[in-house]
Structure 1
Amino acid sequence: MHKFTIDEKFNVVRSAVGDLKRKLEILLLEEYPQQFPPAQSPDLHQETSVCSLSSESAAKSPEPSISSQFSRWADNVTFDLTTAYDRLAITDQNRKVMVSSNPTYYEPSLKRFCISQVLCSQGFSTGCHYWEVITKDSDGWAVGVARGTIGRRDRLGRTESSWCVEWVGPQKQLSAWHRNQETLLRNDKPLKVGVFLELQKTVSFYAITDREMLLHTFEINNSNPLYPAFWLYSLDKNGSLTINHINRK
């Protein structure tokens, strides 16, 4: 005859108690449904971000002003002379880039673009970063981010390693580009564009007036450093982009 061990006896008792508990819960739910409402499942897609606004500020201002929402992450980026296409002139302490009719005599660099593009010197690997670009003085431009390894003949937004919003003046069309896929956005031209980068999560583009209006957001899953990146329409002579100085608060 089999003799039950202490562990086997304990398992039998635990199973019986579990069955009794489940039957009691069912009985209570049937008899008193209002006193025991079903529990809400947690939102598995909701994440807490170190870059998120506080719930208090979001409630006060559903469309926050620039200073309240982004200035804490402001980075005053500058154009990288070693990457600038030779018909792009960099001026104003490396904060303005302009299409030039004549070549600019930069020092030789293997990082230099062979098309009308330029990166910034500052690359970001972690955290949240924000910068603004004045676009009103150009009729053909793209503002975005790219890995430093983007091909020097690859146009911004046409590769897996770059994301951008782009205005093409002759077509009067604003679009978002990534992996050579275009998303049409709107027909009016933003005069200033803000870029908010949350590494390994998203990059968002805003039209800036006295408020921000979201243009487009890309999800990004990238562990490599990302750089502010720019394209200018090469036939738009003297067309320019200027990085707007922002005080971090």
Structure 2
Amino acid sequence: MFAPCPYLPLHVPCHVAALPVLGAGLLSFRRLLPAHPGVCDHNMEAEDPVSHLRNNLNCPICWEVFSNPLSLQCGHSFCQSCIHTHWDREAAMPSAFTCPECRLSFPQRPEPQKNVSLSKVVDDMKALERSRAPVPAAQTDTSAHNAVPALCQRHHQGLIMYCSTDSRCICIKCLMKGCKHHDLQEIDELSAQQKMKLSNDLLASDCLQKHAEEEMEKWKLKIENMKVFYEKIVSGIITTFEQVRKSLDECQILVVNSVNCDKNVALTQAEDHVTHLQRHLDELQKHRAEAERLLRSDGVTFLEHLPQLVPVGVAPGSPNIQQCGNLQIEAVTKIMPEVTRLLQEELPNMLHPEKPKKKCQETSDISTSVDVNDACSIARTSGNVLCGPKESTPRRTPAKISTLRVQLCKDYRNLKFNPETANKYIEISHENCKATHKLHFRKNHVSDATKKFQSWQVMCTEGFTEGSHYWEVVVSTFFVEVGVAYGSLKLDSTIGRNSSSWSLQLRSMHHSFWHNNKETKLQSPMFAKIGVHIDLTAGSLTFYGIQNGSLQLLHSLSWPFSEKVFPVFWIGEDANVTICTMPNTAMDAVTVGR
């Protein structure tokens, strides 16, 4: 019936594609439709009178309501801009000027006159439209027999296509005016496709919800098993400690608290995961409710609100929770019997060293500056060493001490002094590994007073928030304090004299431990070489004295470190502190020895 239109995409319906061939005569064709029932518009009877009037006041060129209508001698009217644009194009052609409606030719460019009556009718129609309530885009009633056809809010005509480019439903005028070359699809076809896709997504969501529910139940069961597991550990520890003398009550509390700390960490992680799973389930249920509401809506409402339906993310991954307790169990079953024997039998004569029961492999000492040969010796020895619980009492057996030192050196850290924090009397040298107290201002003094300590102190560049770390230092005289502190330590503070730092005070008469301005005097020999071990995961800080390749425990404490910890040193007059370093090759060898 109609010739194919070259200006529309091939997938536009044939009854829509045929309309442009009528050109500027479409208005006349629409006026003839009621006289021919065979081709009558099915929506004509339900068409609003104002919309019908609006359709008869359209310019045959732009298909919009007349704007400044002008009339030609032949009687046809057009928008002022439309007719002049038409004649501007014809002026470049050899043919005469014509009427776009009836094709009447004019020898010269006509001078159309303003159609005052038509302009008045257009103004009255626009005023009438403004006085009326806007027609809703879609009805909420989903019943087919009660549904009112949705109209274009721009042109008040029936919606026939969905423009994927503009993400909206369009009418024939939208199609001809702005969406002619856009990506167009049938409303019913696209709605059916998207509903099918959303239905499939809901099926997948059901699987995700089922998996999340099963995962939550599994983790609830794991939590109960964890509680039983840790309760058994605590019960076993308490039962074992009941066999020990009353002097071990403090150790008993320490071990039980350590287990409870591990328990709280593990339970917190597991309960947090259950909380995340519950939140994910709530999001899935909310998504399902919104999707089901959209599925019950009509095509236009569905397509308009579908982009607002945010998909639910993936379920949270399962955390890798390590059930600790091996350290505490090993301490009770292996160490405590030996401690009991030492307290009951060996304590009266503790000054006499214990003869080793087993012949252990010799290990090399770490010198003031740990060289490659010593480190490689430690690495070779470490291959035959088993990790055991941390030492809490002095050991006098050189072989056992060497074994402990090998284990500590696996976590050895090569520290550097931070010159920006050094007091003005502290001079940093030897590649930031040596700090010396000078009686005059140091040459490399940093002028920024906001970073340096006001007391005779210097902080290291490296700080730690987790894990196990070990380092060794050598002091020139017993007028030094070795310790650690939070990064928030005030610059006018002295380590050990506040709640943010811990220090080992080395004096010629005795050694002392300081924290929160409280001194604990230590009954131990004098050591010029000190080893410091901090385990932030276990919450422990230990100071060792080093002599002839042996470690002697000076002081140890447990503390729940809550901030980043930095090594800090207080250096008295004419004293210096040298940080022992281990070459990278030696550190790699120790790591391989694991």
| TM-score of the pair, normalised by structure 1 | 0.74
Q: CA deviation at 1:143?
A: 0.4
Shift of 1:110: 1.2
CA distance in 2, matches of 1:55, 1:156: 31
Question: Aligned partner of 2:468: which letter?
Answer: C
Count of matched residue positions in the alignment of Structure 1 and Structure 2: 201
Higher strand share: 1
Q: Is 1:86 equivalent to 2:424 in the alignment?
A: yes
Cα deviations by residue, 1:1-25 (Å, 9 ceiling, x for unpaired): xxxxxxxxxxxxxxxxxxxxxxxxx
Query: Structure 1 residue aligned with 2:530, among 193, 210, 222?
Result: 193
Q: How does 1:98-177 map to 2 (within 5 A)?
A: 98-104=436-442, 105-135=445-475, 137-169=476-508, 172-177=509-514
Residue among 417, 420, 434 paired with 1:96: 434
Residue in 2 aligned with 1:8?
Answer: none
Equivalent residue of 2:557, what SS?
strand
Give the residue type in structure 1 aligned to 2:236. P
Which residue of the other structure, out of 242, 245, 249, is the alignment partner of 2:578? 242
Q: Deviations over 1:46-69 (max 9, x none)?
A: 5445xx96249x9xx543346522
Deviation digits for residues 48-107 of structure 1 (CA, Å, limit 9, x no counterpart): 45xx96249x9xx54334652211100001101111001000000000000101112224
Q: Report the Cα distance in structure 2 between the residues aligned to 1:222 and 1:232, rounded to whole angstroms.
A: 25
Separation in 1 of the partners of 2:447 and 2:410? Answer: 36
- In structure 1, which of residues 31, 43, 62 is the aligned counterpart of residue 237 of structure 2? 43
Tell me which amino acid in the other structure corresponds to 2:432.
Answer: N
Q: Work out which structure has the larger RCO, using CA pairs closer than 8 Å and 6 or more positions apart in sequence.
A: 1
SS state of the match for residue 406, structure 2?
Answer: helix
Aligned equivalents of 2:449, 2:415: Cα separation in 1:
20
Q: Which residue of 51, 54, 61 corresponds with 2:387?
A: 54
Cα distance in 1 between the residues matched to 2:526 and 2:388: 32
Alpha-carbon distance in structure 2 between the residues aligned to 1:41 and 1:219: 22
Which has the larger displacement, 213-222 or 101-110?
Answer: 101-110
Code of the aligned partner of 1:163: W
TM-score, scaled to structure 2: 0.32
What fraction of aligned residue pairs are identical, expressed as a percent? 28
Asked if structure 1 preserves the Cα contact closer than 8 Å seen for 2:527 and 2:546, the reply is yes
Taking the aligned partners of 1:67 and 1:185, their CA distance within structure 2 comes to 21
Partners of 1:66 and 1:211 within 8 A in 2: no
Which of 402, 405, 413 is the aligned partner of 1:64? 402
Q: Which residue identity is paired with 1:123?
A: G
Look up the SS of the partner of 1:82 in the other structure: helix
- Name the SS of the counterpart of 1:138 in structure 2: coil
Aligned 8 A contact 1:65 1:212 in 2:
no
Q: Distance in 2 between matches of 1:55 and 1:69?
A: 9
Give the whole-Å Cα distance in 2 for the aligned partners of 1:212 and 1:188: 12
Q: In 1, are the aligned partners of 2:535 and 2:541 still within 8 Å (CA)? A: yes
Distance 1:160 1:41, change over 3 A: same
Indicate how the Cα distance of structure 1 residues 187 and 71 shifts in structure 2: closer, same or farther if over 3 A, else same: closer
Q: Is the 8 A contact 1:134 1:244 kept in 2?
A: yes
Structure 1: state its 5+ residue gaps.
Answer: 1-39
Contact 1:73–1:130, Cα closer than 8 Å, also in 2: yes
Cα offset for 1:186?
Answer: 2.8
Contact 2:541–2:556, Cα closer than 8 Å, also in 1? yes
- The alpha-carbon deviation at position 109 of structure 1 amounts to 4.5
Q: Provide the residue aligned with 2:7 in structure 1.
A: none
**Structure 2 counterpart of 1:156, one-letter code:** I
Cα gap change, 1:206 to 1:187, in 2 (>3 Å): closer
Alignment CA distance shift 1:127-1:138 (3 Å): same
Q: Partners in 2 of 1:212 and 1:82 — Cα distance? A: 33
Residue 387 of structure 2 contacts residue 407 of structure 2 at CA under 8 Å; is this kept in 1? no
Q: Report the Cα distance in structure 1 between the residues aligned to 2:421 and 2:482, rounded to whole angstroms.
A: 15
Amino acid at match of 2:452: R
Query: The residue matched to 2:402 in structure 1 has which SS?
Result: coil
SS of match in other structure, 1:125: coil
CA contact (8 A) 2:460 2:567 kept: yes
Root-mean-square deviation (CA), in Å?
A: 2.6
Aligned residue in 1 for 2:290: none
SS at match of 2:450: coil
Q: Which amino acid aligns with 2:446?
A: Y
Q: Distance in 1 between matches of 2:533 and 2:441?
A: 33
Correspondence 1:214 to 2:408: no
Contact 1:83–1:109 under 8 Å retained in 2: no
Separation in structure 2 between the aligned mates of residue 55 and residue 179 of structure 1, nearest angstrom: 31
Task: Report the structure, 1 or 2, having the larger helix content.
Answer: 2
Gap change, CA 1:55 and 1:221, over 3 Å in 2: closer
